[in-house]
Amino acid sequence: MTTAEVLSLVGPGLDRVDGRQKVAGAAPYPGDFSLPHLAHAALVQATVAAGRIRSIDATAARAAPGVLAVITHENAPRLARAPGALTMGPPPPLQHDRVLHHGQHVAVIVAETAEQAAAAARLVEIGYEQAQPLLDLGDPRAERIDNGAGRDVQRGDAAAGLASSAVAVDVTYTTPTQTHNPLGLFATAAYWDGDALTIHDSTQGPSFVRRALAVTFGVPESGVRVLAPFVGGAFGAGLRVWEHVVLVALAARTVARPVRLVLTRAQMFSSIGYRPRTVQRVRIGATGTGELAAIDHHGTEPAALEDSYAESLTRGTSVLYACGNLSARTTQVRLNVACPTWMRGPGEAPGIFALECAMDELAWELGQDPVELRLRNYAEVHPQTGRPWASKALRACYEQGAERFGWSRRTAQPRSMRAGGLLVGYGMASAYYGYVQAPCQARASLGRDGIAFVRSAGTDIGTGTYTVMTQVAAEALGLPPGQVRLGLGDSDMPPAPLQGGSGLTAAMGSAVHAACRQLVQAFLDVVADDPDSPLRGCGLADVRVGDGRISRPGEPASSEAYGAILSRHGLDELSADGASARREDTGMEPGIFAAKFAEVHVDPDLGLVRVTRVVAAVDGGRILNEKTATSQIIGGTVGGIGMTLLEETVADPGTGRIANASFGDYLVAVNADVPDIDVIFVGEPDPMNPIGVKGVGEVAIVGVAPAIANAVFHATGRRIRSLPISIEQLL
């Protein structure tokens, strides 16, 4: 390709380059590493939600077979609090006797085997001085934090706009606590060599974990190596350095041996964050013809006692529609709960559920088609800043999605469509996610064998990063994908940002593209004064690459293979570095958009809801790999089905203990719950980065819940405003 070549919107559906390794069981996950003299850790967790530890009797645990150490706040060294991802991180463990939430880690046992460690953990006896916990969002004793961690948005006069509206809705929606539950249990293995720490971890950001652990333990960052070449799913749970990661490193230093910990499924519910529950009041006013006069969206969510995470519930509300009067704000309530964290589509998934259900209610009150109402209030520019969008094809998402779905067949009246004895409902919703692009670095090398090695420290949590980065490198170097080897998940590689927020593809892809183009330039520099080279004196703009060669366009004979250049000049390989910067202010606003359409069948006698069809029309910029991008949308849709109909983490209201911390009691969508999911990509490459991508991982789940909930209303005439939608609510 040449630098002036226009990149197509949809790239080839290349099979996953790591697929064979995974199905053969050869992909090394963090829990797979077996190190010499490996010891094992087990956690002791608090059985109360608030108070202090009055006493710890670990006598029996220390005497148990195979036990090497018992570490509590009484003998743990002082540790520093690391800044955390996006300045947020839980405080280091075992630093005080206070209990802040049920399930807090209060001790760690190290033993020869995992079974011995778990058995000894059950022998630790802890006495508590209990306090009355804060567990309810409405508890008047709880500290309330307004201004949504600085994320609130105001414009115009929402109160006046509502007062002058011809038609208005005033509704409250609730969403429950939900847990990430990736299939792979989170695992950490660590060992020290003096002050040098090596750690295998289930993380979405090896470079970030490296920085955090260096601060926590007061060692040079260069002496910490974090490895995570494969992670068995994360959905946002791997965006922090959790307490158990610090405890494993601490345990390894204490016993001077490698130590591994694999969380239990129950511990996954209390140790690695969750999507916090929300209560959201939405008021929308409009003219009699459907122009929005005002939006007032107020969300309330829990926050941990010593944490600064905020869900940003109303971020999408301020962006999606042209409305001059808006108030979008969030209140946090500090409770005795574990730290919440990012979970797929954080903020937008629950926030847009409330907004888009309210828009559907407004459409019903107006007697307008839901798609028509959204088009009538389409934001041609960013509603808050007035600046143009970098790229936005939401209108095409509505139109093409509706056509593919067959929206025109929808009759307006609820309970008016049937299939046999079942009620049929059609629903739709808008989706938005504001992706970020952080700085990233990459390095590319190419040897005489014609194999390129491209690496960056970011990891792949199953999204297809190995595959799409291989494609980017292969395209930039003019090599078949099979001649590109990609290295990921090693903090000793060039630093990369977290894989989250739909930002890694843009960040790493741009860095990989830059590194590979610089590598081509390095070859041109070698032959710049070479009288035997047909490429003598050429720059990047003068050449194209393909079939493992650099050539002059239109001059087939004026080309050279990479290996030939290296051999003639006595070089084994050449390397080059590339980087992408934080997205700069270009005068344009970024955004990922989509429209989701859902069909449901509801049994009127049993209240049973089945999602029978979903169409997702997505504006995700340039799609590097249609197959993996489609897989991302399907996966997010499956998560959205679970969010709407099944998933709810239940805590005992008196103690804060999670009551359903298992796959037997926490329901997730399985094959029988998942219908045909039709994915279409629209739009154009995004100008905010050199490769034109936006990312689709987060927007994949956003909008699914309201589309289904709106379809349930259309089928039944019952408006369900509390997730998950249950049989009991419909009977």
Report the side by side order of strands in the sheet with 573-580: 484-487, 452-455, 440-447, 573-580
- Answer whether 71's CB lies under 8 Å from 108's CB: yes
> Are 723 and 642 spatial neighbours (Cβ–Cβ below 8 Å)?
no
**Axis crossing angle, helix 504-526 with helix 465-477, rounded to the nearest 10:** 30
Residue 281 CA to residue 354 CA, distance in Å, equals 8
- What residues contact residue 500 under an 8 Å CB cut-off, 6+ apart? 204, 205, 236, 239, 342
Q: Of the listed 243, 348, 475, 698, which one is catalytic?
A: 698
Largest CA distance in the chain: 85
Nearest to 631 by CA among 691, 583, 674: 674
Strand extents, DSSP E, 538-582:
544-546, 549-552, 555-561, 573-580
Give me the helix-helix angle, 348-366 and 704-716, nearest 10°: 30
Yes or no: say if 681 and 620 are a contact pair by the CB < 8 Å rule. yes
Pairing mode of beta strands 292-304, 67-72: unpaired
For residue 40, what are the β-bridge partners? 111, 260
Active site residue 560: no
DSSP state letters, 294-325 = EEEEEEEEEEETT------TTTTHHHHB--SS
Q: With contact defined as beta carbons under 8 Å apart, do 634 and 679 qualify?
A: yes
**């799409």: which residue's tokens?**
468
The CA distances from residue 655 to 50, 134, 236, 272, in Å, are: 9, 10, 26, 19
Burial class (CB within 10 angstroms; exposed 0-12, middle 13-18, buried 19+) of 339: buried
**At 718, phi and psi to the nearest 5?**
-105, 125
Q: Which residues are catalytic?
A: 698
